[in-house]
Amino acid sequence: MRPESRIPCVVGGAFLFAQFVAMAAGVDSGSPRPLLGNDMPDGWSSWGGGPGGMHFSAAYQITTDNVPQLAHAWTHRSGDIRVAGERGSADIPPTQSSFQATPILVGDTLYYCSPFNKVFAVDARTGEERWAFDPEIDRASPVLPNCRGVSAWQSGREGRCESRILFGTLDARLFALDANSGARCEDFGDRGEVDLTEGLNAHNPSEYGVTQPPAIIGDKLIVGSMVLDNIREDVPSGVVRAFDVRSGALRWAWEALPPGAQAEADGSYRPGTANVWSMISVDEARDMVFAPTGNAAPDFFGGQRDGLDYYASSLVALRGSTGELLWHYRFVNHDIWDYDTPSQPTLIDLPIEGEVVPAVVQTTKMGLTFVLHRETGEPLWPVEERAVPVTGGVPEERPYPTQPFPTHVPSLFKPVTPDDAWGFTFWDKNICRERLAALDNQGLYTPPSLNGSIQMPSTGGGNNWGSPAIDPKTGVMVVYTNRTAGQVKLKQRAECQDSMQPQLGTPYCVEVSFAVTSPLGTPCTAPPWGTLDVIDLVAGKQLWSVPLGTTRNLAPFPFWWIEGLPGMAAPMMTAGGLVFSGIANDHHFRAFDLRDGRELWKEKLPTAAVALPMSYQLDGRQYVVVAVGGHWSGGSPPGDYLMAFALPEAP
């Protein structure tokens, strides 16, 4: 464990043409703890499958042998989309909606949210709508329309609101609905809703909201926030809060203030602290909450943070009943690269040297995987603090001299150089070589500069919010890896333009690109630009890597042959030995053999499936369900299709 993680403290973020198994050596020496994963074929109780976030379904009817027979079973459509530049209003950015929700299963009903936070209950066998609830989000608000999921709580008793659906909204409200009818739970907050802006400093509505499903532990729901990147230094606090699941009363708040820092005198939350925008995991048996933190504001300049990034880009373990800080582990020291912790922490029991160890696995944008002891935060295998570049940035910045590197689980990246330039012809390849050579490049953690620097991996990762999926019995992990080299360039305040990210309150604005591109708009590094990668966590070995997606929907003929797209993807694993995944900007949904990465099934979709798939088995029939709604990065139009697939029913 790194020294600062020992200190307890209780205190209350397209393929871009346009823009950017030998499984675990047969390990079977321990069973996963109950409720961490998805232990029953008919279960998918929370966003990641279970409160431990394994992205794993125990449903087993669909196998490597019969998956080629998988066929469309039903579709539910929400009707809730936004096209780019809708209404032509200056208040609406040229961004489309992106349907990224993963449904949860309660009984025989699926619950999910649309990009503007409409909530739907549908029959899990047929997709027939049972009820819908509209929180009436202002569609003219300049937000990125997105909701990744809802959560459920059940008391075990009969009656109104004894089973609740809970969710946050883009405009920072928290709702509780009766799971059977969709009606508001009137005893929760103010007629079924809680205002999450209470205690925050003044801000524009688009700067703060909720896109994650709440985490549930006992009679509490835990919620973080989306805080808009790179707008200003004093964005709203990233405070993590627990609310009573019945009354909506605040039970505790944890704010990422450094040790010794004082909370605001008026009881409000301090602006600029690190937020938790990704999914939170819980271990109810241990009364533990695991929160992946984002950056302190702003992302690419930390010269004025005054220690506010102490808990940033970390994993924080809190006591579920009180919010007490138990431990934290920082993955990036003084993060000035937007390498916030993007994915849900995965809780799994791993067999290590004859002992079953409670672990938490955290993938990162850097393509580094950290495996920590769940109770203490100690790395289960050695992590080295290695020297990294500290020169070449702006004079007000003080980059941290070392960064942590895991030694057991292999890194998914190597440095990029001008010699790695790629193109369709000598012409665009040579221009790519010149563009790569012109940027500062000292490898991973090159400080952002006025000249511009290569960022490999880019701010999109590496691994992002959709990964990983882990088999609870073998410890085999599947991640999607975005493999483009991005670039970051700081600009003096006097040179800033409206198209740049302002970072107000600092001397610099910033230009960020997810990929260094050629004149043809293609990434300047060789494909594949996105892969599915499988790692045996216990053995510390990469088992296979395959390209995910093709340019078929993005490039003119004859350039359909490129395999492996950058973007976003979220793999899901099943007990039938399969990995399912869609990807932004490729209009297909695929199934792969977990043993060797062979593609076994592919289905053409109306647009891209960017969400985490889920699966369950009811009445002996297994369903695989995925949201099909495109992505705002370009190349896939918005959609509102919740699509289910199953094997044909017997005649």
For the segment 516-550, what is each residue's pLDDT rounded down to a tens digit?
A: 999 988 999 999 999 999 999 999 999 999 999 99
The answer to the question of residue 198 being in a domain is: yes
pLDDT at site 265: 85
The answer to the question of residue 421 being in a domain is: no
The mean pLDDT value of the chain amounts to 91
Please state the domain count of the chain.
1
4 pLDDT higher than 60: no
pLDDT at site 23: 29
If pLDDT is split at 50, 70 and 90, which confidence band does 275 have? very high
The answer to the question of residue 424 being in a domain is: no
pLDDT at site 6: 32
Q: Which two tokens stand for residue 148?
A: 């990744």
Q: How many residues does the chain have?
A: 651
Per DSSP bridges, beta strands 325-330 and 346-352 are: unpaired
The answer to the question of residue 92 being in a domain is: yes
If pLDDT is split at 50, 70 and 90, which confidence band does 3 have? very low
The percent of the chain in helix, strand and coil, each rounded to the nearest 5, is 5, 35, 60
Q: Are 440 and 446 in contact (CB under 8 A)?
A: yes
Q: Are 538 and 403 in contact (CB under 8 A)?
A: no
pLDDT at site 379: 98
Helices (H), 471-607: none
Nearest-angstrom CA–CA distance, 8 and 322: 13
Nearest-angstrom CA–CA distance, 398 and 391: 9
Cis status, amide bond into 558, omega within 30 of 0: yes
pLDDT at site 27: 30
Lowest-pLDDT choice from 196-200, 228-232, 552-556 = 552-556
Nearest-angstrom CA–CA distance, 588 and 607: 8
Nearest-angstrom CA–CA distance, 479 and 569: 9
21 pLDDT higher than 70: no
The answer to the question of residue 242 being in a domain is: yes
Nearest-angstrom CA–CA distance, 307 and 373: 26
Cα-Cα-Cα-Cα dihedral sign, residues 402, 407, 411, 414: positive
For 407-417, write each residue's pLDDT tens digit.
Answer: 999 999 999 99
Per DSSP bridges, beta strands 208-209 and 226-227 are: antiparallel
| Structural domain span for residue 395 | 3-13+22-413+457-484+525-646
Instruction: Report the CATH number that the domain containing residue 570 is assigned in CATH.
Output: 2.140.10.10
Nearest-angstrom CA–CA distance, 151 and 162: 14
Place of tokens 């938490």: 360
Q: What is the mean pLDDT of residues 613-622?
A: 96
pLDDT at site 22: 29
pLDDT at site 32: 32
Nearest-angstrom CA–CA distance, 414 and 114: 38
Nearest-angstrom CA–CA distance, 29 and 352: 9
The answer to the question of residue 612 being in a domain is: yes
Nearest-angstrom CA–CA distance, 562 and 585: 13
Q: DSSP per residue over 480-509, as a string?
A: EEE---EEEEEEEGGG--TTSB--BTSSEE
pLDDT at site 92: 55
Burial of residue 202 (number of CB atoms within 10 Å: 0-12, 13-18, 19+): exposed
* pLDDT above 70: percentage of residues in the chain: 92
Q: In what order do the strands lie in the sheet with 346-352?
A: 346-352, 355-363, 369-373
For 106-122, write each residue's pLDDT tens digit.
Answer: 999 999 999 999 999 99
Could you tell me where the beta strands, DSSP code E, fall in 418-470? 453-455, 469-470
Q: Are 343 and 290 in contact (CB under 8 A)?
A: no
The answer to the question of residue 122 being in a domain is: yes
Nearest-angstrom CA–CA distance, 402 and 529: 28
Residues in Cβ contact with 265 at an 8 Å cutoff, skipping those fewer than 6 apart: none
Q: What is the mean pLDDT of residues 325-344?
A: 98
Q: What is the mean pLDDT of residues 402-423?
A: 96
Q: Which two tokens stand for residue 176?
A: 């509780």
Q: Which two tokens stand for residue 507?
A: 């001397």
Q: Are 326 and 281 in contact (CB under 8 A)?
A: no
450 pLDDT higher than 80: yes
Q: DSSP per residue over 81-125, as a string?
A: ---TTGGG-TTS-S---------EEETTEEEEE-TT--EEEEETT
pLDDT at site 91: 53
Residues in Cβ contact with 294 at an 8 Å cutoff, skipping those fewer than 6 apart: 13, 227, 238, 274, 275, 276, 277, 278, 312, 313, 340, 341
Enter the DSSP assignment of 420: G
- Phi and psi, residue 205, nearest 5°: -55, -30
Nearest-angstrom CA–CA distance, 136 and 108: 27
For 29-80, write each residue's pLDDT tens digit.
Answer: 333 333 455 667 778 999 999 999 999 999 999 999 999 999 999 999 999 9
Q: What is the mean pLDDT of residues 476-482?
A: 98
The answer to the question of residue 307 being in a domain is: yes
Of 50, 20, 69, 72, the C-alpha closest to 644 is 72
Residue 597, CA distances (Å) to 154, 528, 548, 580, 646 in order = 39, 15, 10, 11, 21
Helix (H, G, I), strand (E, B) or coil at 406: strand
Q: Are 175 and 193 in contact (CB under 8 A)?
A: yes
Per DSSP bridges, beta strands 486-492 and 541-547 are: unpaired
Residue 462's identity, in one-letter code, is G
For 249-259, write each residue's pLDDT tens digit.
Answer: 999 999 999 99
Q: Which two tokens stand for residue 348?
A: 């799994």
**CA–centroid distance for 321 within its chain:** 25
Q: Buried b vs exposed e over 396-430: b needs ≥16 C-beta within 10 Å?
A: ebebbeebbbbebbbebbeebbbebbbbeeeebbe
Lowest-pLDDT choice from 138-142, 355-359, 375-379, 382-386 = 138-142
Cα-Cα-Cα-Cα dihedral sign, residues 391, 393, 397, 400: negative
Nearest-angstrom CA–CA distance, 482 and 460: 7
